[in-house]
Structure 1
Amino acid sequence: MAYDEQFAQRIRASFELQPQDVRTNITEKKMFGGIAFLYCGKMTVGIIKENLMVRVVSSKMDRILSTEHVRPMDFAKRPMKEFVYVSQEGIATEEQLLNYIELGLEHAKQKLNEL
């Protein structure tokens, strides 16, 4: 596979810390040559090669992109709207990983509220 299974296990463990209604609505899907974690069918975070991919609400993009170890997701050679990559250095601790997962969940919940 094109992603690190141990890294995927870290993400799964972080989702287990979420409330029951979130945990029971998380699914996994192979995407972008890696794996994505979806909440109620909306992408939250994923793994592409060694990077964490995170969906971020538009209003927070500038602030998140100014964070160390974060860059625009340029999967198709151009930045993708509301997507960022976080390098391994940016998610060295479980607290850092959980913060990015919560950002991804925020994005998914916002998209669901727009429906």
Structure 2
Amino acid sequence: MKTMKTQRGMTLTSFLVVAIVVGFGLYVAMKLFPMYQEYYSVKAALKGVAQEPGVASMEPGKVQDLFFRRLYINYSENVKPANVKMQRVNGGWNMTVNYEVRRPLVGNLDVVGKFDTQQELTLSGAQ
């Protein structure tokens, strides 16, 4: 007498559900990646400015000019001069960059990233 073997594995429907979930996750990641790539470019530009010789004694406008030149090289388009604040601290400046990026996701849903970073620009260099 023959015994019936049961098939095991994923059905087409369950495969499609998994594919849709993975596809949506990749889609969201594609929207988020440029936002975070720009954030790390901002942090790198801040560290680069902090290592400039004599940055602690420069005028705020000159420091911001150095910062935005570095951002221009990295094709940053979301950070504007209004997002950059300079505050005098002992022996230099404290530069704060606070900005928001909004990207459309699906229909009327958006992905919003709020980024805030700061760097001390002192005579002793980057800290």
Is the TM value for this pair above 0.5? no
- After TM superposition, the score normalised by the length of structure 2 is 0.29
Between Structure 1 and Structure 2, whose CA radius of gyration is higher? Answer: 2
